[in-house]
Structure 1
């Protein structure tokens, strides 16, 4: 069988979906491809480099053009894109979180987010900090979502707390009941809203849009998407 890197990556994704990350080895992937495990090393010297390529494949849609909407909506859309990409494959969040080097798609998605934030008035350095903070939030939330899917149906946080003999407040009980009983998408959207609201609070308008006439420009007017500006 003639192998290409793309063939191996696609096979690894199928293996993840069926067996999970903990079961993935070069030998087992080779068996799934009906080739000797050593044949894979001609394309990937080890499992880590394979997972780097798989992670970059998972996030390949992050750099798609954005609609012409205000920058907070663009930031929200980018976060939702990343979450959807991570949840599309079993253990996808763990794979992306564990990568050792960013691939082309990862860089393109990060660059697009930084461009959006810079157009909103954030200096490049702070735009980078915000971008990584946003991606960390999405990754962490997606990891928890996918971990919950692996829990037994009878797993109950109240039983665990009782076994630990830890006294908790009534407020904690309500909060944890909500965490375990609410749709994860709803919780994600709420946290993302808090994140974007905080960005709007600290955002400064770009110099070209800053109000110097006393007219009260807020700096939160609709902005051009990166794609539109690149087309000039």
Structure 2
């Protein structure tokens, strides 16, 4: 049966789940598919194009219909959907971070976020800015989560900082402890809530200003 583009993407994702992103090459992927490496180039001109397709596959479903609820709850849902998608694959966040050409799923998901924020009263331009700010918060958090999974079991933040011979405050030390001692999902939800609540207050302030100007 002829090798399909979707087969290449699916196998590439299975490969990074098993071996990690740093081990992925077109040659190794061709061997995993039992084809010559050159056969892959009929579907993807280079590894960067393959990574773009892998990233778009990872975020499949992000733009699915949302429940009929308040806009700020929909923003939380979108943020959690994206985090879940990125963490569903080993190095998934790094795959997404290294792409520059958005695919259909990426566009659909971003469009969904822009629609939600536009219904909340943001002009399209600002809705786009906020959508990307949300995306980068989720992406950055997921990158750190997956990086922490690769740390040795005995890794100690305090010891590592101590080797730098830098005096830190007790508050900073407590903050470092929380990075390894707190559930990443709890930290993520806290940050997402700060983001959403800040946005809600901004919208309330702007709405009040508009109502005052209309009097």
Q: TM-score, normalised by structure 2?
A: 0.94
Correspondence for 1:45: 45
Contact 1:75 1:196 in 2 (8 A): yes
2:203 corresponds to:
203
What is the distance in 1 between the residues matched to 2:154 and 2:36? Answer: 41
CA offsets 1:127-166 (integer angstroms, 9 cap, x no match): 0000000000000000000000011111111111221111
Distance 2:205 2:71 in 1: 11
Q: Is the 8 A contact 2:158 2:176 kept in 1?
A: no
Checking the alignment, whether the CA contact within 8 Å between 1:119 and 1:206 is kept in structure 2 is: no
Corresponding residue number in structure 2 for 1:22? 22
Aligned residues: 211
Gap runs ≥5 in structure 2: none
Shift of residue 211, structure 1, vs aligned partner:
6.2
Q: Partners of 1:170 and 1:38 in 2: how far apart?
A: 57
Structure 1 contact 72–200 (Cα < 8 Å) conserved: yes
User: Residue 5 of structure 2 aligns with which residue?
Assistant: 5
Residue in 2 aligned with 1:144?
144
Flag the structure with higher helix content.
2
Bigger relative contact order, structure 1 or 2 (CA pairs below 8 A, ≥6 apart) = 1
Q: Following TM superposition, by how much is the alpha carbon of 1:205 offset from its aligned partner in structure 2, in angstroms?
A: 9.5
What corresponds to 1:184 in structure 2? Answer: 184
Is 1:132 paired with 2:132? yes
| Distance change >3 Å, CA 205–CA 106, structure 1 → 2 | farther
2:67 alignment counterpart: 67
Superposed displacement of residue 37, structure 1 = 0.7
Question: Gaps (5+ residues) in structure 1?
Answer: 215-232
Q: Tell me if structure 2 keeps the 8 A contact 1:120–1:204.
A: no
2:52/2:101 contact within 8 Å kept: yes
The range that moved more, 151-160 or 90-99, is 151-160
2:82 maps to 82
Q: Which runs of 4+ in 1 moved over 6 A?
A: none
Q: RMSD of aligned C-alpha atoms?
A: 1.7
Q: In the alignment, does 2:55 pair up with 1:91?
A: no
Query: 1:169-188 deviations in whole A, cap 9, x for unaligned?
Result: 11111111112210000000
Q: Is the 8 A contact 2:30 2:36 kept in 1?
A: yes
